């Protein structure tokens, strides 16, 4: 199996190439730009056939052009970050509403002001209600694998929804690592050409997409998206399992569990910070802490059932949020707590706000959080529900 030492962004570009995307419409934004630069290079060097690259004038138009292309039956791809993703927001609804399985890589970057180009999950999580599936990658390998799986899952006949693959600004986007890339023939077998739900080239049976939905019908359109999201859970597990069988990396769990079997305390979070957390778990285990890590791979659809299975067997969950919903709490914390309310699983849950705007989360930080969680569990009472962990005091 060919290995390449690539940045997270190049991993995304190679995955798009290997997925044989047909239209890429994109706009430059730091730290996403090297994804589309690499794709343009593939075209310039004649490494891809039948790939149209549309260098649009804004992210809003990038998504609109992908929507036009996808509705015409093409496999469409784009990538963005932060402000660019926010500008696309309207069209994200359009892509999901028109049931178009566009794949987009979002390089997680903090929102301005103040200007920041560093890692933060608020940009992608703010898109949570648009009807897009969301996959959070921990490392460059997962960026690559995530993009390939995203096409297969999004294009599945029971799903037909767009998919966002999320990677961290700079921590992944610009950091080089070894990535395993299967042979093109193997990928072609895993990911055959797209079979669209509909295409605008059907002149024999002309129809319209996105026409006015009156109160008599609109409701059912939404229900079908809700249903497709539920179906997507099964499809994600199937495709994740198949990916493991074919390429050796199994993604059949929507939440990746690390040393949670006998764990009393579990750290839960998403994306690149979970690499640090796993490292800390190993060290804490040596110190006698019964800790584990739960990496939420898919935020949409939300893995409720898997979370319940985990939560019923642990005493405490430390939810690490690299994001914040103002006026409330960390977004993952909010979701996870909500899922467990109507169940018998009631671990102590505390929300640690970490890493916002690129602030580094170190192994020692995770260790300190473990100590704090242990105290809470011994007392059987939270000191506070939300802690802004890095605040300068």
Partner 1 sequence: MELPADVKKRLTLPFEEHFYAGHTACQGCGASLGLRYVLKAYGGKAIFTIPACCSTIIAGPWPYTALNAPLFHTAFETTGAVISGIEAALKAKGYKVKGEDGIMVIGWAGDGGTADIGLQALSGFLERGHDALYIMYDNEAYMNTGIQRSSSTPYGAWTTNTPGGKKHFLEQRPKKKVIDIVIAHKPAYAATASIAYPEDFMRKLKKAQTIKGPSFIQLFAPCPTGWRSPTDKTIELARLAVQTAYFPLFEYENGKYKINMPSPNKEPKPLEEYLKLQGRFKYMTKEDMEILQEWVLKEWEELKKKAELFG
The torsion of the CA quartet 256, 262, 266, 269, rounded to 10 degrees, works out to -10
Q: Yes or no: say if 82 and 29 are a contact pair by the CB < 8 Å rule.
A: yes
Closest to partner 1 by CB, 54 vs 197, is: 54
Closest to partner 1 by CB, 71 vs 161, is: 71
Nearest-approach distance from CB 199 to partner 1, in angstroms: 8
Closest to partner 1 by CB, 224 vs 246, is: 224
Contact call for residue 54 and partner 1 (CB under 8 A): yes
Contact call for residue 58 and partner 1 (CB under 8 A): yes
SS3 357: helix
Contact call for residue 67 and partner 1 (CB under 8 A): yes
# of chain residues touching partner 1 (CB under 8 A) = 44
Contact call for residue 55 and partner 1 (CB under 8 A): yes
SS3 344: coil
Q: Is the dihedral of CA 65, 67, 70, 71 positive or negative?
A: negative
What is the pattern of x (binds partner 1, CB under 8 A) and - over residues 70-89? xxxxx-x-------------
Contact call for residue 47 and partner 1 (CB under 8 A): no
DSSP string, 238-276: HHHHHHHHHHS-----SEEEES-TT-SEEEEE-TTHHHH
Burial class (CB in 10 A: 0-12, 13-18, 19+), 362: exposed
Closest to partner 1 by CB, 214 vs 342, is: 214
Pairing of strands 103-108, 76-80: parallel
Query: Can you tell me which of 200, 225, 363, 368 binds partner 1, judged by CB under 8 A?
Result: 200
Structure tokens at 306: 């898997």
Query: Can you tell me which of 60, 128, 337, 367 binds partner 1, judged by CB under 8 A?
Result: 60
Query: Can you tell me which of 11, 15, 16, 25 binds partner 1, judged by CB under 8 A?
Result: 25
Contact call for residue 213 and partner 1 (CB under 8 A): yes
Contact call for residue 154 and partner 1 (CB under 8 A): no
Structure tokens at 26: 């994109």
Contact call for residue 91 and partner 1 (CB under 8 A): yes
Nearest-approach distance from CB 333 to partner 1, in angstroms: 33
Cis upstream peptide for 362 (omega within 30°)? no
Q: Which one, of 100, 82, 97, lies nearest residue 163 by Cα?
A: 100
Burial class (CB in 10 A: 0-12, 13-18, 19+), 181: buried
Contact call for residue 101 and partner 1 (CB under 8 A): no
Contact call for residue 127 and partner 1 (CB under 8 A): no
- Rounded to 5 degrees, φ, ψ at 208 are -120, 145
Q: Yes or no: say if 34 and 7 are a contact pair by the CB < 8 Å rule.
A: yes
Cα→Cα distances 328→324, 385, 392, Å: 8, 11, 21
Contact call for residue 64 and partner 1 (CB under 8 A): yes
Contact call for residue 66 and partner 1 (CB under 8 A): yes
Query: Can you tell me which of 3, 185, 207, 327 binds partner 1, judged by CB under 8 A?
Result: 207
DSSP code at position 110: P
Contact call for residue 61 and partner 1 (CB under 8 A): yes
In degrees, rounded to 5, the angle at the alpha carbon of residue 100 between the alpha carbons of residues 127 and 142 is 60
Nearest-approach distance from CB 101 to partner 1, in angstroms: 14
Closest to partner 1 by CB, 88 vs 273, is: 88
Nearest-approach distance from CB 77 to partner 1, in angstroms: 12
Which of the residues 5 through 24 are near partner 1 (CB under 8 A)? 22-23
In the numeric block, the tokens 């997680």 are attached to 108
Contact call for residue 57 and partner 1 (CB under 8 A): yes
**Residues forming the site for partner 1 (CB under 8 A):** 22-23, 25, 50-52, 54-58, 60-62, 64-74, 76, 90-91, 94, 98, 200-203, 206-214, 217
């Amino acid at each position: 199996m060919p290995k390449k030492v690539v940045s997270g962004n190049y991993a995304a570009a190679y995955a798009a190439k290997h997925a044989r995307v047909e239209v890429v419409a994109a706009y430059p934004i730091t730290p996403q730009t090297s994804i589309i630069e690499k794709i343009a290079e593939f075209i310039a060097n004649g490494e891809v056939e039948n790939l149209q690259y549309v260098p649009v004038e804004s992210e809003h138009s990038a998504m609109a052009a992908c929507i036009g292309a996808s509705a015409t039956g093409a496999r469409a791809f784009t990538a963005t970050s932060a402000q660019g993703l926010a500008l696309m927001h309207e069209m994200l609804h359009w892509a999901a509403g028109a049931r178009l399985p566009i794949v987009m890589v979002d390089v997680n970057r903090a929102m301005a002001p103040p200007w920041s180009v560093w890692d933060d999950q608020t940009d992608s999580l703010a898109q949570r209600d648009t009807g897009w599936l969301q996959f959070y990658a921990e490392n460059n390998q997962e960026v690559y694998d995530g993009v390939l799986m995203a096409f297969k899952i999004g294009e599945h006949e029971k799903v037909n929804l767009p998919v966002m693959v999320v990677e961290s600004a700079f921590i992944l986007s610009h950091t080089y690592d070894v990535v395993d890339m299967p042979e093109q023939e193997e990928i072609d077998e895993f990911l055959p050409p797209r079979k669209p739900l509909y295409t605008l080239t059907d002149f024999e049976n002309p129809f319209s997409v996105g026409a006015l939905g009156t109160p008599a019908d609109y409701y059912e359109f939404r229900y079908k998206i809700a249903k497709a999201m539920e179906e997507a859970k099964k499809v994600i597990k199937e495709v994740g399992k198949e990916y493991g069988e074919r390429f050796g990396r199994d993604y059949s769990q929507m939440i990746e569990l690390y040393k949670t079997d006998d764990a009393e305390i579990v750290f839960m979070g998403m994306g690149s910070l979970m690499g640090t957390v796993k490292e800390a778990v190993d060290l804490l285990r040596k110190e006698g802490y019964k800790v584990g890590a739960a990496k939420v791979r898919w935020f949409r659809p939300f893995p409720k059932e898997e979370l319940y299975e985990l939560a019923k067997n642990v005493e405490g969950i430390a939810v690490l949020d690299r994001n914040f919903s103002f006026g409330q709490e960390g977004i993952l914390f909010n979701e996870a707590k909500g899922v467990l309310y109507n169940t018998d699983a009631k671990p102590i849950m505390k929300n640690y706000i970490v890493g916002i705007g690129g602030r580094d989360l170190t192994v020692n930080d995770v260790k300190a959080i473990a100590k704090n969680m242990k105290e809470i569990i011994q007392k059987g009472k939270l000191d506070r529900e939300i802690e802004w962990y890095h605040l300068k005091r």
